[in-house]
Chains A and B, each alone.
Chain A
Amino acid sequence: MSELVLLKHITHPDSTDIEYYEKNGGYQGLKQVLSDYSPDQVIETIKTSSLRGRGGAGFPTGLKWSFVPKGDGKIHYLCCNADEGEPGTFKDRLLMERDPHRVIEGMIIAAYAIQSQVAYIYIRGEYGLSIEQISQAIKAAYARGYLGKNISGSSFCLDIYIHKGAGAYICGEETALLESIEGKRGQPKLKPPFPAVSGLYGCPTVVNNVETLACVAHIFARGVDWFTAIGPEDAPGPRLFGLSGRLQNPGIYELPMGLSLRELVFGYGGGPLTGQFKAVIPGGLSAPMVPLAGLDVKMNFADLAAADSMMGSAAVIALDETTSIPTVGRRIAEFFSHESCGKCAPCREGLHWASKILNRIESGQGRPGDLEQLQVICGGVFNNSFCALGVGASWALRATLKHFSHEYDALITQQTIPVRDRTRP
Chain B
Amino acid sequence: MIKFKINGQEVEVEEGTTILNAARASAVEIPTFCYQDRLSTLASCRMCLVEVEGRPRLEPACATVVSEDMAVLTHSEKVVASREDMLEILLANHPLDCPVCDKSGECELQDTVFEYGKGDSRLVDPKRVFRVDDIALNNVITFNANRCIQCQRCVRVCEEVVGDVALGTMERGLDAEITGVGNSLKDCSHCGNCIEVCPVGALMSTPYRYKARPWDLEKFETTCGMCGTGCSMTIETREGKLARVKSQYETGINGELLCAKGRFGFDFIDGGERITQPMLRKNDVLTAVTWSEALDFIINKTLNVLGSKGHIKGLISPRQTNETAFIFQKLMREVFQSSDIHASCRFSGLNLQPETTDILKALLSQTYSRQPLGDILQSDCILLLGTNICDENPVSSYLIRQHKRDNHNHLLLASSRPCGLDDIATAKLRLLPGNEAALLSALVSKLDVSEDQQQSDFVSASKTVLEKANSVTLLIGTEFMRGQQAKDCFLWIIETVERLQQQGKQVFMQFLFDRPNQLGLWHMGCLPDLQSYDQESIPDIFYVVAADPIANCAAGDQLEQAALNSPCLIVQTAFMTASAQQAMVILPTPSYGEEDGTYTNNEARVQKVSAIRSPAENILPSTVIFTQLASALGLDIIPNTAAQILGQIKQEIDGYQALKEDFIFGPKLNDYGLTTSPPAVTAPAITEPEVKAPSVNYFALENYTLITGDSLFRSGKLTAQSQNLSGLGHDAYVEMNPGADYDEQLEYEVTITRGNNSITAPLKINRVFPDKLLFIPEGQLSSPANKIITTAEYPCVVGVKIKVRGA
Q: Is the interface of A mostly helix, strand, loop or mixed?
A: helix
CB distance from A316 to the nearest CB of B (A): 27
Residues of B within 8 A of A413 (CB): none
Residues of B within 8 A of A343 (CB): 42, 44, 150
Q: Does A49 contact B (CB under 8 A)?
A: no
Interface of chain A residues 186 through 205 with chain B (CB within 8 A): 190
CB distance from A408 to the nearest CB of B (A): 17
Residues of A within 8 A of B85 (CB): 346, 376, 379-380, 383-384
CB distance from B352 to the nearest CB of A (A): 51
Residues of A within 8 A of B89 (CB): 345-346, 349-350, 353, 377, 380
Residues of B within 8 A of A352 (CB): 93, 128, 173-174
- If A367-B124, A386-B43 touch, whether A342 touches B58 (CB-CB below 8 Å) is no
Question: Once the chains are docked, how many angstroms separate the CA of A341 from the CA of B169?
Answer: 11
Q: Does A344 contact B (CB under 8 A)?
A: yes
CB distance from A194 to the nearest CB of B (A): 13
- If A190-B42, A348-B150 touch, whether A380 touches B176 (CB-CB below 8 Å) is no
CB distance from B77 to the nearest CB of A (A): 12
Extra contacts, 20 of them, besides A338-B173, A380-B86 (Cβ < 8 A), are: A168-B172, A185-B169, A190-B43, A339-B173, A342-B150, A342-B172, A344-B45, A345-B45, A345-B90, A345-B150, A346-B46, A348-B150, A348-B173, A352-B173, A352-B174, A377-B89, A383-B57, A384-B82, A386-B43, A386-B44
Compute the total of residue contacts between A and B using a CB distance below 8 Å: 92
* B58 close to A353 (CB less than 8 A): no
Residue from A353, A373, A379 with most neighbouring chain B CB atoms (10 Å)? A353
- If A384-B58, A384-B85 touch, whether A369 touches B173 (CB-CB below 8 Å) is no
* B45 close to A342 (CB less than 8 A): no
Interface of chain A residues 156 through 172 with chain B (CB within 8 A): 168, 170
Residues of B within 8 A of A373 (CB): 122
Sample 8 A-B pairs with CB under 8 A, ordered by A number: A337-B173, A342-B176, A343-B44, A348-B174, A349-B93, A352-B128, A383-B58, A385-B46
Residues of A within 8 A of B46 (CB): 344-346, 384-386
* B173 close to A341 (CB less than 8 A): yes
CB distance from A27 to the nearest CB of B (A): 40
Residues of A within 8 A of B93 (CB): 349, 352
Interface of chain B residues 336 through 370 with chain A (CB within 8 A): none
**Contact indicator per residue, chain B 124-144, by CB within 8 Å of chain A (1) or not (0):** 110010000000000000000
Q: Does A360 contact B (CB under 8 A)?
A: yes
Interface of chain B residues 1 through 59 with chain A (CB within 8 A): 41-46, 49, 57-58
Question: Once the chains are docked, how many angstroms separate the CA of A377 from the CA of B91?
Answer: 13
Q: Does A313 contact B (CB under 8 A)?
A: no
Question: Once the chains are docked, how many angstroms separate the CA of A170 from the CA of B176?
Answer: 15
Q: From B149, which residue of chain A is reached at the shortest CB distance?
A: A345
Residues of A within 8 A of B176 (CB): 342, 348
Q: Does A61 contact B (CB under 8 A)?
A: no
Interface of chain B residues 77 through 93 with chain A (CB within 8 A): 78, 82, 85-86, 88-90, 92-93
Residue from A340, A341, A369, A383 with most neighbouring chain B CB atoms (10 Å)? A383
* A190 close to B92 (CB less than 8 A): no
Residues of B within 8 A of A190 (CB): 41-43, 63
Question: Once the chains are docked, how many angstroms separate the CA of A338 from the CA of B63?
Answer: 27
Question: Once the chains are docked, how many angstroms separate the CA of A356 from the CA of B123?
Answer: 10
**Contact indicator per residue, chain A 340-375, by CB within 8 Å of chain B (1) or not (0):** 111111101110110011001000000101000100
- If A185-B169, A357-B125 touch, whether A349 touches B174 (CB-CB below 8 Å) is yes
CB distance from A356 to the nearest CB of B (A): 4
* B86 close to A384 (CB less than 8 A): yes
* B173 close to A342 (CB less than 8 A): yes
- If A337-B173, A342-B174 touch, whether A383 touches B82 (CB-CB below 8 Å) is yes
Question: Once the chains are docked, how many angstroms separate the CA of A344 from the CA of B173?
Answer: 9
* A340 close to B174 (CB less than 8 A): yes
Residue from B58, B85, B93, B128 with most neighbouring chain A CB atoms (10 Å)? B85
Residue from B42, B82, B89, B172 with most neighbouring chain A CB atoms (10 Å)? B89
Interface of chain B residues 156 through 174 with chain A (CB within 8 A): 169, 171-174
* A369 close to B174 (CB less than 8 A): no
* A353 close to B172 (CB less than 8 A): no
Q: From A360, which residue of chain B is reached at the shortest CB distance?
A: B125
* B169 close to A356 (CB less than 8 A): no
CB distance from A103 to the nearest CB of B (A): 29
**Contact indicator per residue, chain A 266-288, by CB within 8 Å of chain B (1) or not (0):** 00000000000000000000000
CB distance from B36 to the nearest CB of A (A): 15
CB distance from A329 to the nearest CB of B (A): 16
Question: Once the chains are docked, how many angstroms separate the CA of A342 from the CA of B178?
Answer: 11
Residues of A within 8 A of B42 (CB): 190, 343
* B124 close to A344 (CB less than 8 A): no
* B57 close to A337 (CB less than 8 A): no
Question: Once the chains are docked, how many angstroms separate the CA of A190 from the CA of B86?
Answer: 19
* A369 close to B58 (CB less than 8 A): no
**Contact indicator per residue, chain B 542-561, by CB within 8 Å of chain A (1) or not (0):** 00000000000000000000
Q: Which of B88, B123, B172 is close to A185, meaning CB atoms less than 8 Å apart?
A: B172
CB distance from A372 to the nearest CB of B (A): 9
Q: From B45, which residue of chain A is reached at the shortest CB distance?
A: A345
Q: From A373, which residue of chain B is reached at the shortest CB distance?
A: B122
Question: Once the chains are docked, how many angstroms separate the CA of A350 from the CA of B169?
Answer: 19
Residues of A within 8 A of B49 (CB): 384
Residues of B within 8 A of A386 (CB): 43-44, 46
Question: Once the chains are docked, how many angstroms separate the CA of A344 from the CA of B86?
Answer: 10
**Contact indicator per residue, chain A 13-55, by CB within 8 Å of chain B (1) or not (0):** 0000000000000000000000000000000000000000000
